[in-house]
Chains A and B, each alone.
Chain A
Amino acid sequence: MRRVVLVDDHALFRAGVRSELEGRVEIVGEAGTVEEAVALITAMKPDVVLLDVHMAEGGGVEVARRVGGDSVRFLALSVSDAPEDVIAIIRAGARGYVTKTIDAERLADAIERVAEGDAVFSPKLAGFVLDAFRGDPTPGASELDQLTPREQEVLRLIARGYLYKEVAHQLGISAKTVEAHVTAVLRKLQFTNRHELSRWAMEQGLD
Chain B
Amino acid sequence: MSAPMATATGGIPRLDREDKMLAGVCAGLAQHFHVSVRFVRISFVVLTIAGGIGIALYGLAYVAMTSPAAEPETVDPTAILREAGASWREGLGTGLLAAALAVAAGADARVALPIGAGAATTVVLWRSGLGLSPRGRVGAALMILGAVLVSSALPRLGDLQTFAFAVIVVLAGSMLLFGPWWLRMAQALTAERTARIRAQERAEVAAHLHDSVLQTLALIQRRADDPGDVAQLARRQERELRAWLNADETAAADTLHGALLRAATEIEERHGVEVEVVCVGDRALDDDTGALAAAAREAILNAAKFAGAGRIDVYAEASEERAEVFVRDRGAGFDPEAVPDDRRGVRESIVGRMRRHGGRAEIRSQPGGGTEVELAL
> Which residues in A have some Cβ–Cβ distance to B below 8 Å?
82, 101, 123-124, 126-127, 130-131, 134, 156, 159-162
Contact = CB atoms under 8 A, between A and B. Distances in A.
A112 B278 CA distance: 25
A130 B246 CA distance: 21
Nearest to A162: B328
A127 B246 CA distance: 18
B246 A160 contact: no
B278 A127 contact: yes
Contact of B280 (A131, A161, A162): A131
Given A160-B315, A160-B328, A161-B315, A126 B281 contact: no
B372 interface: yes
6 contacts: A126-B278, A127-B280, A156-B317, A159-B315, A160-B372, A161-B276
Contact of A131 (B276, B281, B372): B281
B313 A160 contact: yes
Interface of B is mostly: strand
B19 to A, nearest CB: 31
B100 interface: no
Interface of B: 235, 238, 246, 274, 276, 278-281, 313, 315, 317, 326, 328, 330, 372
B276 A124 contact: yes
Contacts of B276: 123-124, 161
B278 A124 contact: yes
Contacts of B274: 101
A123 B317 CA distance: 13
B313 A161 contact: yes
Contacts of A161: 276, 313, 315, 326, 328, 330
Nearest to B311: A161
A123 B311 CA distance: 12
B305 to A, nearest CB: 18
A131 to B, nearest CB: 5
Contacts of A123: 276, 278, 313, 315
A10 to B, nearest CB: 15
Interface of A is mostly: helix
A151 to B, nearest CB: 14
B253 to A, nearest CB: 16
B279 A127 contact: yes
A127 B281 contact: no
B92 to A, nearest CB: 50
B278 A159 contact: yes
Among B278, B279, B313, B326, find the residue whose CB has the most chain A CB atoms closer than 10 A: B278
Contacts of A82: 246
Nearest to A127: B278
Contacts of B328: 160-162
A126 B276 CA distance: 13
A130 B280 contact: yes
Contacts of B372: 160
B278 A134 contact: no
Given A101-B274, A159-B280, A161-B276, 10 more contacts: A123-B278, A124-B276, A131-B280, A159-B315, A160-B313, A160-B326, A160-B372, A161-B313, A161-B326, A162-B328
A105 B239 CA distance: 23
A161 B328 CA distance: 7
A196 to B, nearest CB: 13
A156 B315 CA distance: 8
A94 to B, nearest CB: 20
Contacts of B326: 160-161
Contacts of B280: 127, 130-131, 134, 159
A193 B134 CA distance: 40
Report, nearest first, the 7 A-B pairs whose CB atoms are least far apart.
A161-B313, A127-B278, A160-B315, A161-B328, A130-B280, A160-B326, A159-B315
Contacts of B278: 123-124, 126-127, 159
Contacts of A126: 278
A131 B316 CA distance: 11
A127 B276 CA distance: 11
A161 to B, nearest CB: 3
A161 B374 CA distance: 13
A161 B372 CA distance: 10
Nearest to A126: B278
Contacts of B279: 127
Contacts of B246: 82
Contacts of B281: 131, 134
A131 B278 CA distance: 10
A125 to B, nearest CB: 9
Contacts of B330: 161
Contacts of A101: 235, 238, 274
A150 B269 CA distance: 37
A82 B248 CA distance: 11
Nearest to A103: B310
